[in-house]
């Protein structure tokens, strides 16, 4: 159980059997009185928002969360398969959990999989991944006043914006947290 | 500028500026204020107990500006280490402290704002004109949807009603004095003569922000000891640290403290009001 004084932004808690994460937090204490901990919460599975105020005497449940380091194996068309590198145990993660991160999955990449009550609910990819630009127009020099980036496609057709000097066949580094180009790693 | 003006105000009125220990063996026993341990002793949560011993020693007008430390208090309006102004007058009471406070705020307003008021809490707060005075019971009657102060204390909701329903209405346009708290919420204050359940305590609000806490000081040594012991028992029951009783303080009270008024004011929060700042971090040089 957490004490109310443990509350902070980013803490994961359980209320009435549901997992919530604290997105905003305000400590209030009228002089000489008990402290109040006012939280804005986001439901970890369905994204719903809620406000809740806790008093200093309150105890809060800890959600049954577990984080595991796993390797991405492949996609079987419906689910994404991750493997525990020590036990070789396989876990299927649905496309609803992976979301847009599917474009940045690389075979054998080391990811963190978060389990709530033993079901995968969130996957954290390595912060940076490298992917080849499979299709892009050559950048037109002299056009930097208006366009500093141009569209480029990855192997699955996903499009990102890259600087004009990046060419088809180049390998670029992508920040998986933002989905954006970070730097060029090698030229074609 | 702010502390210079504050010091000027008190020096002009012949108050003695005094520094009392920051690290002490017996922090004031309060229900919900926790002291930071400092080796086998503690950092003070307020200079109050030493200031009162000075009143017993015959110093009749004293003030102190200095750091106070409270464990676990950090938020938009709280710092675990903050600057407090406390002043005390022998042969006075909470009404005398109100008179001082009005004079002080008006002096600061003239010096720092040219007398035009403070832009804070979503509007201008006119400090020069008459301040609003409201008792805690009146405030509950007006804003607490039928819950009385006594009921809220019994249910453990006094703080949330105060913070959510009452405080937002206080101190807009002009400062508000919220006064005559239930005795349970005023451990170091004297009870009212005509109402034993209410204490001579008031709090100053500007723009919805609580700035200062004033008392007619409790001088009855037996009653003070009883209250400290009740607090110790509550803290023990709720699993929080119980501090030693401040015996020299209780002995000083037994020796005899003149009826006095005392007040504690948050200087950082006062700076927020004069600077129009939203967060306490914005008015201090370094914040954890």
The domain locations on chain B are 2-283
Looking at the predicted structure, is the pLDDT value of residue A40 above 60? yes
Strands B61-69 and B16-17: parallel
Contact A32 B159 (CB under 8 A): no
Q: What is the pLDDT of residues A162-171, one digit of tens each?
A: 998 899 999 9
What domain range is A25 assigned to? 2-60
pLDDT at position B203: 97
Does residue A49 carry a pLDDT above 60?
Answer: yes
Where among A126, A146, A164 does a domain terminate?
A: A126
CA distances from B63 to B10, B14, B70, B219 (A): 8, 10, 20, 19
Closest-CA distance, B63 to chain A, in angstroms, reads 20
Three-state SS at A175: strand
SS3 content of chain A, % helix, strand, coil (to 5): 5, 50, 40
The mean pLDDT value for B22-46 works out to: 96
What distance in Å separates the CA atoms of residue B191 and residue B218, rounded to the nearest whole number? Answer: 8
Cα distance from N-terminal residue to C-terminal residue, chain A = 55
pLDDT of A148 strictly over 90: no
Domain stop point among A103, A126, A149: A126
**Percent of chain B at pLDDT exceeding 70:** 100
Ranges of beta strands (E only) in chain B are 16-17, 23-24, 37-38, 41-43, 61-69, 81-90, 118-120, 123-125, 132-135, 176-179, 191-192, 195-199, 201-206, 209-216, 260-266
CATH number at residue A96: 2.40.50.140
Question: For domain B2-283, which architecture applies?
Answer: 2-Layer Sandwich (3.30)
Residues of chain B whose beta carbon is less than 8 angstroms from a beta carbon of chain A are: 30-33, 72-78, 156, 158-160, 162-164, 167, 185-187, 203, 210, 213, 238
Q: Specify whether A74 is located in the same domain as A46.
A: no
Q: How far is CA A136 from the centre of its chain?
A: 27
pLDDT of residue A78: 86
Q: How many distinct structural domains can be found in chain A?
A: 3
Q: CB A35 to CB B72 under 8 A?
A: yes
- Are A10 and A53 found together in one domain? yes
pLDDT of residue A143: 57
A26 contacts on B by Cβ (under 8 Å): 75-76
* Mean of pLDDT values over A52-76: 91
Tell me the count of A-B CB pairs closer than 8 A: 57
Give ipTM to 2 decimals: 0.81
Q: What is the pLDDT of residue A32?
A: 81
pLDDT band at A96, cuts 50/70/90?
A: confident
pLDDT at A145 over 80: no
């Amino acid at each position: 159980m957490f004490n109310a004084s443990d509350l902070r932004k980013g803490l994961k808690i359980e209320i009435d059997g549901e997992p919530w994460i604290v997105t905003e937090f305000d400590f209030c204490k009228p002089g000489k009185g008990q402290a109040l901990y006012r939280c804005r919460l986001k439901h970890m599975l369905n994204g719903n928002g809620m406000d809740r105020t806790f008093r200093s005497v309150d105890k809060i449940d800890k959600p049954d969360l577990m984080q595991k380091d796993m390797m991405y194996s492949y996609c079987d068309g419906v689910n994404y398969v991750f493997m525990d590198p020590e036990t070789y145990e396989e876990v299927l993660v649905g496309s609803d959990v992976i979301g847009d991160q599917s474009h940045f999955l690389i075979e054998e990449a080391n990811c963190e999989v978060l389990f709530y009550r033993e079901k995968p609910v969130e996957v954290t990819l390595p912060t940076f991944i490298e992917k080849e630009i499979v299709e892009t127009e050559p950048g037109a020099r002299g056009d930097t006043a208006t366009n500093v980036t141009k569209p480029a496609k990855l192997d699955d057709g996903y499009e990102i914006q890259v600087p004009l000097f990046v060419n088809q066949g180049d390998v670029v580094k992508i920040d998986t947290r933002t989905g954006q180009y970070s730097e060029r790693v090698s030229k074609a | 500028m702010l502390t210079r003006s504050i010091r000027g105000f008190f020096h002009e009125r012949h108050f003695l500026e005094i520094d009392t220990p920051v690290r002490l063996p017996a922090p004031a026993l309060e229900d919900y204020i926790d002291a930071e341990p400092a080796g086998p002793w503690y950092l003070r949560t307020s200079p109050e107990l030493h200031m009162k011993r000075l009143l017993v020693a015959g110093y009749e007008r004293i003030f102190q500006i200095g750091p106070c430390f409270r464990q676990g208090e950090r938020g938009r309006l709280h710092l675990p280490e903050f600057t407090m102004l406390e002043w005390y007058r022998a042969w006075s009471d909470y009404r005398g402290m109100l008179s001082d406070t009005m004079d002080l705020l008006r002096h600061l307003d003239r010096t720092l704002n040219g007398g035009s008021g403070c832009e804070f809490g979503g509007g201008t707060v006119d400090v020069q004109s008459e301040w609003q005075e409201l008792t805690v019971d009146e405030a509950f009657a007006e804003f607490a949807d039928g819950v009385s102060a006594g009921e809220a204390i019994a249910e453990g909701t006094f703080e949330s009603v105060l913070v959510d329903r009452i405080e937002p209405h206080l101190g807009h346009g002009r400062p508000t004095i919220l006064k005559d708290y239930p005795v349970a919420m005023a451990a170091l204050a004297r009870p009212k003569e005509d109402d034993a359940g209410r204490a001579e305590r008031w709090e100053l609000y500007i723009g919805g922000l609580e700035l200062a806490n004033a008392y007619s000081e409790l001088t009855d040594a037996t009653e003070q000891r009883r209250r400290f012991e009740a607090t110790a028992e509550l803290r023990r029951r709720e699993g929080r640290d119980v501090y030693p009783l401040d015996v020299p303080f209780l002995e000083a009270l037994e020796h005899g403290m003149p009826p006095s008024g005392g007040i504690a004011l948050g200087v950082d929060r006062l700076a927020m009001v004069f600077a129009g700042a939203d967060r306490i971090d914005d008015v201090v040089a370094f914040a954890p």
